[in-house]
Chain A
Amino acid sequence: MSPAPSKNYTDDVSLLVVTLDTNPFFWSDFPSHFSDFLSQVLAFLNSILLLGQLNQVVVIATGCNSCSYVYDSSSNKNHASTNGTMPALYSNLLHNLDEFIAKDKQLTTAHEPGNVPSSLLSGSLSKALCYIQRAFRSGPMHPQPRILCLQGSPDGPEQYVAIMNAIFSAQRSSVPVDSCYIASSNSSNSAFLQQASYITGGIYYKPPQLDGLFQYLSAVFATDLHSRAFLRLPKSLGVDFRASCFCHKKTIDTGYVCSVCLSIFCEHHDKCSTCSSVFGQAQSVAASTDNRKRKAE
């Protein structure tokens, strides 16, 4: 771990790392267009940069099979390509995003129709954290970092462990993870993002409609960490704390937990697959059937 940051600029200078969900399977099923969404997000990113000269924005695209940095406001390349018609931010980001989507497409493997595959959120979260760690070490002065996940596609239970690890690492370096979950149906929520925001002290918000996305983004997620201390921001109504089991990557309500390494399983095993501890030697058979019954509910 890097030593605790001792000096900052003024309190409201922020480094915002945005993970942008580009999952084509999700967007093709979604009622509103990716381009509408993107144009609102771009205006939001621009407004963050507008708020302060030292503010920094990094965008990471989250695809189906890969993730990549698509924009970094601090890199020098940005100044070169201003062509007058479009701000450098937009042209750079769009160019990189195009390249990324093409690359991600090549990696795509076949999947069952009707079932939207999840995006690689764990990957982009880790990349975001790596970037932030670099910012921490860059010198005595660095902006206050935070992560904003713009996510639409459903959670991928197979990424559970990786995402949880990323969340805890964010918590340890006190980086809040804000999440803006975009979904057409009102009932669905992302358990991963809810947990991420809950644990790291970020904001989880699901805009009720996408037409005014910019307004939601600028009202809720543009708030710098300093101002959050004295503003009323959306509070989460409840967090889905369910875990995924390590054996089948399913989200479960009740399960078995290894007493040694706390790995979670959906069914009884004789031996822990993570730490190889042997279970149940002293237990009677009756007790274990009892357990199984409880789990079955």
Chain B
Amino acid sequence: MPEVRIIAKNFMDMVASMPAMKLDKLYENGFICEAILRSLPPLAKKYVLQLLHIDQPVLARLFAEWVLPDGLSKHKVAIDRLLQLRLFVEALDSRKNEKTYKVNPTYQRSLQQLLVHGGTLPRESMPSNITVRLPTLEDLETYALEQWECFLLQLISPSHADKTLNISSSLMKVFQRRLLSQRDREAPKLTESGFQFLLMDTNAQLWYIIREYISNSEERGVDAGDLISFMLELSFHAIGEAYNINTLTDFQRNIIKDLADLGLVKLQQGRKESWFIPTKLATNLSVSFTESSSRKEGFVVVETNFRVYAYSTSKLHCEILRLFSRVEYQLPNLIVGAITKETLYNAFDNGITADQIVSFLRQNAHPRVAQRIPAVPDNVTDQIRLWESDINRVEMTEAYYYDEFPSRDVFEGACDCAREWNGLLWEDSKKMHLVVKSEVHSYVRDFLRRQK
């Protein structure tokens, strides 16, 4: 089965894929260094901190000595990540002929600076006498989530949305590119990745959108490096504080409008000045996924009789539940549905996996049931997985079939050749039939040609 999955890659993977020149430029900004440090695996964080004030290259052998045998795999992951992000510079010690590591000097300088002197944002929050009627933190959060939901709803079904956002249709197309497929004169349909997208948690969705936004930036004539650095900087602004829009460059002002539509910031206008207020979505940008994924309050209760109760008023939630369950009735603040074999088969047809459904139910479990272990009854999760494995009873492998070999020697030679390439699927030595994987076909064919 082809694996078409949206990998919710995070910012740092994008940063890692940038050319060295641009990376070094990014590392001049202390906040970016901080965000990157926070995104590292725990062991890598420790290595950076440990080498922060060491200017000499350190032998790679020494690193391995710090780690217990159990942790070697983690150690490798950490080192790979550090090299990938160019935080560590690899070199060869000429005298001992061994590998050494050293912290990237630009990064080292910025982080040292940040550690000792602290970081200051390029702009300060505005005094409260100018900014009247600032929203409370709760208001801001509901605003952000509403805005985000509205965006999502518009993204997946433009006709359903109550209010339209100002996101330009060309930008919307970019976001929809891989989530919706549109045939001529038909309503757009969600693609496989579109369904998966809906089941991801808010942060993962946000990353996906931001990733599309950034990867598309070059087409719009915006430098990806500037965009990344601005977004990371934004994530260090305090939630709920007002920042004057005049402190932004023109380029940033354009971006902030888009971000406001996504719910990352709230724009407000005073008598003379206007300002933006970062929401939780913005500050979460620099947090890695796992940390914040499960902090949202859930709303779903799943019972052992496969009934799903969702305490939600949101249309979006209803749409999502519809993906894998039959919605039976809807009360003002409650959606009741049932998970059935048919609805699940439907979901699997659309490319949603059982794991995604289960993790969605777990992550969005109502606080009352979230305390229980397991949050979703075992019989339900097991059954969902069983039904999924029902579909995948047969595994398809593309293959080539050979018969009518001229002699047993040639047949056996062909079998050995296929075995060597690890592509022998089946053989019948009596009747001299052979089936090989399609990748190996060319080798076997060459072998047979040579025999002639």
| A interface residue numbers (CB < 8 A to B) | 6-7, 9-13, 43, 46-47, 50-54, 79, 82, 84, 86-90, 140-141, 214-215, 218-219, 222-224, 226-227, 229-232
Cα-based distance from A53 to B282 in the complex (angstroms): 13
Do B68 and A86 touch (CB < 8 A)?
Answer: no
Residue in A50, A54, A90, A214 whose Cβ sees the most chain B Cβ within 10 Å: A50
Cα-based distance from A158 to B53 in the complex (angstroms): 41
Nearest 7 A/B pairs, CB to CB: A230-B71, A87-B118, A12-B42, A227-B42, A218-B49, A10-B290, A219-B50
Q: Given that A51-B38, A53-B286 are known contacts, is A231 also in contact with B67, CB under 8 Å in the complex?
A: yes
Do B42 and A229 touch (CB < 8 A)?
Answer: no
Query: Out of B38, B67, B119, which one reaches A52, CB within 8 Å?
Result: B38
Query: Out of A6, A82, A231, which one reaches B66, CB within 8 Å?
Result: A231
Q: Given that A10-B291, A11-B42, A218-B50 are known contacts, is A50 also in contact with B68, CB under 8 Å in the complex?
A: no
Shortest beta-carbon distance from A218 to chain B in Å: 5
Residue in B75, B124, B294 whose Cβ sees the most chain A Cβ within 10 Å: B294
Query: Out of B49, B68, B290, B370, which one reaches A231, CB within 8 Å?
Result: B68
Do B118 and A6 touch (CB < 8 A)?
Answer: no
Residues of A within 8 A of B120 (CB): 82, 84
Q: Is B114 an interface residue (CB 8 A)?
A: yes
Query: Out of B49, B114, B118, which one reaches A86, CB within 8 Å?
Result: B118
Cα-based distance from A53 to B236 in the complex (angstroms): 10
Nearest A residue to B74, CB-CB:
A230
With A50-B111, A50-B114, A222-B49 given, name 13 new contacts (CB 8 A): A43-B115, A43-B116, A46-B116, A52-B38, A53-B38, A82-B120, A84-B124, A87-B117, A140-B370, A218-B52, A229-B68, A232-B65, A232-B68
Q: Is B450 an interface residue (CB 8 A)?
A: no
Q: Given that A226-B42, A229-B71 are known contacts, is A54 also in contact with B117, CB under 8 Å in the complex?
A: no
Do B371 and A222 touch (CB < 8 A)?
Answer: no
Shortest beta-carbon distance from A273 to chain B in Å: 46
Cα-based distance from A51 to B290 in the complex (angstroms): 15
9 CB < 8 A contacts A-B: A10-B291, A50-B37, A50-B111, A54-B291, A140-B370, A141-B295, A214-B53, A229-B68, A231-B71
Query: Out of B50, B71, B373, which one reaches A6, CB within 8 Å?
Result: B373
Nearest B residue to A215, CB-CB:
B53
Residues of A within 8 A of B66 (CB): 231-232
Shortest beta-carbon distance from B136 to chain A in Å: 13
Shortest beta-carbon distance from A118 to chain B in Å: 32
Q: Given that A230-B70, A230-B71 are known contacts, is A51 also in contact with B118, CB under 8 Å in the complex?
A: no
Residues of B within 8 A of A215 (CB): 50, 53
Residues of B within 8 A of A86 (CB): 117-118
Cα-based distance from A228 to B65 in the complex (angstroms): 14
Cα-based distance from A147 to B370 in the complex (angstroms): 30
Query: Out of A6, A223, A229, A232, which one reaches B46, CB within 8 Å?
Result: A223
Cα-based distance from A145 to B75 in the complex (angstroms): 24
Size class of the B contact interface (CB-based, 8 Å): 35 or more
Q: Mark B59-102, 1 if CB is under 8 A from A, else 0.
A: 00000011110110011000000000000000000000000000
Q: Given that A226-B42, A227-B42 are known contacts, is A90 also in contact with B118, CB under 8 Å in the complex?
A: yes
Q: Is B45 an interface residue (CB 8 A)?
A: yes
Residues of B within 8 A of A140 (CB): 370-371
Q: Is B34 an interface residue (CB 8 A)?
A: yes
Shortest beta-carbon distance from A219 to chain B in Å: 5
Cα-based distance from A214 to B371 in the complex (angstroms): 40
Do B291 and A222 touch (CB < 8 A)?
Answer: no
| B interface residue numbers (CB < 8 A to A) | 34, 37-38, 42-43, 45-46, 49-50, 52-53, 65-68, 70-71, 74-75, 111, 114-120, 124, 238, 286-288, 290-291, 294-295, 370-371, 373
Residues of A within 8 A of B43 (CB): 227, 230-231
Cα-based distance from A51 to B50 in the complex (angstroms): 12
Shortest beta-carbon distance from B243 to chain A in Å: 14
Cα-based distance from A229 to B42 in the complex (angstroms): 12
Do A51 and B49 touch (CB < 8 A)?
Answer: yes
Cα-based distance from A10 to B396 in the complex (angstroms): 38
Shortest beta-carbon distance from B385 to chain A in Å: 23
Cα-based distance from A84 to B294 in the complex (angstroms): 34
Residues of A within 8 A of B370 (CB): 140
Shortest beta-carbon distance from A4 to chain B in Å: 11
Shortest beta-carbon distance from B341 to chain A in Å: 32
Residues of B within 8 A of A90 (CB): 118
Cα-based distance from A6 to B238 in the complex (angstroms): 30
Cα-based distance from A214 to B370 in the complex (angstroms): 41
Cα-based distance from A100 to B49 in the complex (angstroms): 31
Do A229 and B70 touch (CB < 8 A)?
Answer: yes
Residues of B within 8 A of A229 (CB): 68, 70-71
Residue in A88, A89, A140 whose Cβ sees the most chain B Cβ within 10 Å: A140
Cα-based distance from A51 to B115 in the complex (angstroms): 11
Query: Out of B46, B118, B288, B291, which one reaches A89, CB within 8 Å?
Result: B118
Do A227 and B115 touch (CB < 8 A)?
Answer: no
Nearest B residue to A48, CB-CB:
B49
Nearest A residue to B50, CB-CB:
A219
Do B37 and A51 touch (CB < 8 A)?
Answer: yes
Nearest B residue to A226, CB-CB:
B42
Do A230 and B287 touch (CB < 8 A)?
Answer: no
Residues of B within 8 A of A84 (CB): 120, 124
Residues of B within 8 A of A214 (CB): 53
Residues of B within 8 A of A219 (CB): 49-50
Query: Out of B45, B67, B75, B371, which one reaches A51, CB within 8 Å?
Result: B45
Residues of B within 8 A of A9 (CB): 291
Shortest beta-carbon distance from B449 to chain A in Å: 53
Residues of B within 8 A of A82 (CB): 120
Nearest B residue to A42, CB-CB:
B116
Residues of B within 8 A of A231 (CB): 43, 46, 66-68, 71
Residue in A53, A223, A229 whose Cβ sees the most chain B Cβ within 10 Å: A53
Cα-based distance from A13 to B373 in the complex (angstroms): 22
Cα-based distance from A219 to B294 in the complex (angstroms): 31
Do B65 and A46 touch (CB < 8 A)?
Answer: no
Residues of A within 8 A of B291 (CB): 9-10, 13, 52-54
Query: Out of B50, B111, B124, B287, which one reaches A53, CB within 8 Å?
Result: B287
Residues of B within 8 A of A6 (CB): 371, 373
Cα-based distance from A10 to B38 in the complex (angstroms): 12
Residues of A within 8 A of B124 (CB): 84
